[in-house]
Amino acid sequence: MMSEEKRESVATDNTPMLVRFDTVTKRFGSFTAVESLTLDIAQGEFFALLGPSGCGKTTLLRMLAGFETPTEGRILLDGDDIVDVPPHRRPINMMFQNYALFPHLTVEGNIAFGLRQDRASRAEISQRVGDMLTLTRLQGFEKRRIQQLSGGQRQRVALARSLIKQPRVLLLDEPLAALDKKLRAETQFELMEVQRKLGMTFIIVTHDQEEAMIVADRIAVMDRGRIVQVGPPAEIYESPNSRWVAEFIGDVTIIEGRAVARDAMATALGRIGVSDTDIAPGQTAWIALRPEKITMSEHRPGGDVNAVVGTVFEVGYRGDVSIYKVRLSDRSLMKVAVANVDARARARFEPRNTVWLSWPPQAGVVLTK
Amino acid sequence: MKNRNGKAEQGWGRRIVLLAPYLWLAVFFLAPFVLVLKISFSQTALAQPPYLPVIDFAAGWEGIRSFFSQLTLDSYRLLSSDLLYLFSYLRSLEIAAISTLVLLLIGYPIAYGIARTPQEWRPLLVIAVVLPFWTSFLIRVYAWINILQRDGLLNGLLTRLHIIDSPVGWLSTDTAIYIGVIYSYLPFMVLPLYASLEKMDESLLEAAADLGCPRWKSFWLVTVPMSLPGAAAGALLSFIPIVGEFVIPDLLGGSETQMIGQTLWTEFFSNRDWPVASAIAVALLAILLVPILFYERLQQRSLEGGRQ
């Protein structure tokens, strides 16, 4: 519930911008990692940089931390250009991908490291280390050495260490990549809880679109050094602005066609109704269809829906849903997700069965690139 | 049944493999040491071998009993009563300690420098460090005589540069010993240090910087502590052999107090006093056992620590 509230309160037009990348370019030799990129991140946001490896997301994060200097452009924090500020003077902390914990220090020594650099008093250090141990549920592990910890515990030490200085921005570089799937899922919710408790700005870098959608208030999808779309997870998922984004985030079937009316397109599958668009008739466009928006039935459904007939080609049972690949009249495959609401549902359609696939016109997203 | 047999065979194979190093140590270390230990409890004699007693197996049980009754602590009494030996030990320890310290001071920047050069240049620099080993140790020490003697290269250079007016007697001084020792043992210090510095994760320094640590400080808070095992290994690999060093002080040093290796040599070859020479060796081993055990414990710890 709280996270829902937060999603609405954050990222409105009047929230003050905390971090601004202003036409930032970073080149390594002849390779351009980040290309004239502009991005605003608001105070208190949980922001995700999402993209395939090599898209420049980590470079962007490292420029904010101060480990890389932009070739061109400015990086503003609270309105001040921080490009010339060395990393140790930036009120920004980072949780490293491999955690980069100091193996020669104990858990306590690692967590207190940042405060010690600020010459905090002994009493303050011990109090705040205690707070962090509580926050990350590491009480009792103070004196342990890093080598004696499990992967999950190391991850929490790294989090505590990067939070203790109460940075203006916390950067998380693939923070959960080293954890197994189940632990990762739990930790995602823990991260959200910590972020909400502290009201801090978190910027996470990940290549896992599911992770980005779960934790983040807003996502910037990156490809080859550029941001291709920024928005809340639901917007990115439901209204991708290109085929590339639609295909990168989740499963999708893309149908190519030509606009014939404001609300219809001619495709290899026949005339397909879409919601109103402003595409000029005759222009080529694509319809992106999410698997869960499609209904599968034995007989042709009635009503104002698009319906195509096909043959079940493959079924992938995933427990909660089954993913069907259905061969259509033009030999293309359409992915359909059917929720396994009752136990018998799984057996309903089998390979080689003839099925009808239908979806309302507004379920498809029309894309022009 | 077969399975069990197979297992037993595997167990035997394993045991033999494990036994090999112990056997090696028993034959080439323990047995000679027992001999030396035995000689150190003997007395000198004008005989071949030049000590008494010798076990007379022909006399049977009686022979063995008389052998043990003739063993004596005389050599050790001499070692502890004559200050010459004590000074010799102290001097060896002093030279080894100071040399090791200087080696650390010189070796650390070298190792650090190599570890921070671009990857493709490192093997070349490591070879450069090891290169002197390709020439005989003895020849290299002789070369230093040439450099350090009164009309040698060093004096020639310094005179030509007008730094000194008349030649300095470098040779046969402590300075010459230190130069020789430090030159010879530098690779033993640099290599373990380099190994520990080279494998250090760059992101640890970034993490330190990120947490508010300027560059010079992260060197002291992260780099130095992380390279301590390497420094300890290098220090012990230098210190232990330097204590027993003979060639360098003999060729480059003066005739004042001898290092313990020289004292041992004198006892053995000049005085033909095998028992005292053996006692010196045993006592030296006892002294060096302290740093050796320390080193062992350190290695054990780093093994148990299980580097990531």
* B305 with A145: Cβ contact below 8 A: yes
Sequence-distant (6+) residues with CB within 8 A of A229 are: A220, A221, A236, A240, A241, A242, A245
Q: What are phi and psi of A187, to 5 degrees?
A: -65, -30
Residue of A88, A102, A165 lying closest to B209 (CB–CB): A88
Give the percent of chain B with pLDDT over 70.
Answer: 94
Per-residue model confidence as pLDDT tens digits over B96-146: 999 999 999 999 999 999 999 998 999 999 999 999 888 899 999 999 999
- For residue A230, give every residue at least 6 positions away whose Cβ sits within 8 Å of its Cβ, in sequence order, or none: A39, A218, A219, A220, A221
Q: What pLDDT digit, counting tens, does each position of B216-250 carry? A: 999 999 999 989 889 998 999 999 999 989 999 99
Q: Sorting pLDDT into bands at 50, 70 and 90, what band is B186?
A: very high
CB pair distance less than 8 Å for B212 and A145: no
CB contact under 8 A, B209 and A96: no
**pLDDT tens profile B18-32:** 888 899 999 999 999
Contact criterion met (CB below 8 Å) for A277 and A366 = yes
- Confidence at residue B105, expressed as pLDDT on a 0 to 100 scale: 96
Burial B62-98 (b: 16+ CB within 10 A, else e): eeeeebeeeeeebbbebbeeeeebebbbebbbebbee
- Establish how many alpha carbons lie within 13 A of residue B295's alpha carbon, considering only the half-sphere containing its beta carbon: 17
Three-state DSSP at B34 gives helix
* A88, closest residue in chain B (CA to CA): B212
In the predicted structure, residue A348 carries a pLDDT above the cut 60? yes
pTM for the complete prediction?
0.78
Amino acid B306: pLDDT: 46
Q: Is the pLDDT of residue A230 over 50?
A: yes
- Identify all chain B residues contacting A98, using CB atoms and an 8 Å cutoff: 201, 203
Average of pLDDT values for B170-183? Answer: 90
- pLDDT band for position A3 (50/70/90)? very low
pLDDT band with cut points at 50, 70 and 90 for residue A7: very low
Q: Which residues pair with A336 in a beta bridge?
A: A324
Residues A98/A149, Cβ–Cβ less than 8 Å: no
Judging contacts by C-beta atoms under 8 Å, the chain A residues touching residue B214 are 86, 88
Above 50 in pLDDT, residue B308? no
* Residue of A94, A125, A129 best to disrupt the B interface, most CBs of B under 10 A: A94
- B229's CB contacts (< 8 A; 6+ apart) are B196, B298, B302
Inter-chain CB proximity B307 and A103 less than 8 Å:
yes
Return phi, psi of residue B44, to 5°: -70, 155
Residue A83 amino acid letter: V
Q: Tell me the shortest Cα–Cα distance from A179 to chain B, in angstroms.
A: 16
Minimum-distance CB partner of A67 among B201, B204, B206: B206
Query: Where would I find the H helices in A10-103?
Result: 57-65
Q: Is B217 on the interface with A (CB under 8 A)?
A: yes
Look-up of token digits 């390279």: B227
Which residues from chain A sit within 8 angstroms of residue B206, using beta carbons?
Answer: 65, 67, 87, 94, 96, 100
Average of per-residue pLDDT across A359-364: 86
Q: In terms of Cα–Cα distance, which of A326, A347, A349 is closest to A336? A: A326
* Chain B neighbors of A93, CB-CB under 8 A: 210-211
Q: Is the dihedral of CA A301, A307, A309, A314 positive or negative?
A: negative
Q: Which residues of chain B have a CB within 8 Å of the CB of A118?
A: 212
Q: What is the tens place of the pLDDT at every residue in A243-264?
A: 999 988 888 888 888 888 778 8
CA–CA separation, A250 and A244 (whole Å)? 11
Q: What are phi and psi of B137, to 5 degrees?
A: -55, -45
Q: What is the pLDDT of residue A319?
A: 81
Cβ contact, residue pair A117, B308, below 8 Å: no
Q: How far is B130 from chain A, CA to nearest CA, in Å?
A: 30
Instruction: Specify the pLDDT at position A194.
Output: 87
Cβ contacts of B307 on chain A, cutoff 8 Å: 103, 147
Kindly list the residues of chain A whose beta carbon comes within 8 Å of any beta carbon in chain B.
65-67, 86-89, 92-94, 96, 98, 100-104, 113-114, 117-118, 145, 147, 161-162, 165
- Residues B76, B42: contact at Cβ < 8 Å? no
Whether A100 sits inside 8 A of B201 (CB atoms) is yes
User: Cβ distance A365 to A264 under 8 Å?
Assistant: no
pLDDT at A295: 87
Question: CA of B197 to nearest chain A CA: how many angstroms apart?
Answer: 14
Contact B209 A66 (CB under 8 A): yes
What is the rounded average pLDDT of the residues B36-63? 82
Q: Is the pLDDT of residue B300 over 80?
A: no
pLDDT score of B305:
53
Residues whose CB is less than 8 angstroms from the CB of residue A322 and which lie 6 or more positions away in sequence, other chains included = A315, A316, A337, A338, A340, A345, A346
Give the pLDDT band (50/70/90) at residue A10.
Answer: very low
Closest CA to A170 of A138, A146, A205: A205
**Nearest CA-CA distance, residue A187 and chain B, Å:** 22
Structure confidence at residue B302 as a pLDDT band (50, 70, 90): low
A175: Cβ–Cβ under 8 A, 6 or more apart, which residues? Answer: A95, A97, A155, A158, A159, A187, A191, A204
- Is the CA virtual torsion A80, A82, A83, A84 positive or negative? positive
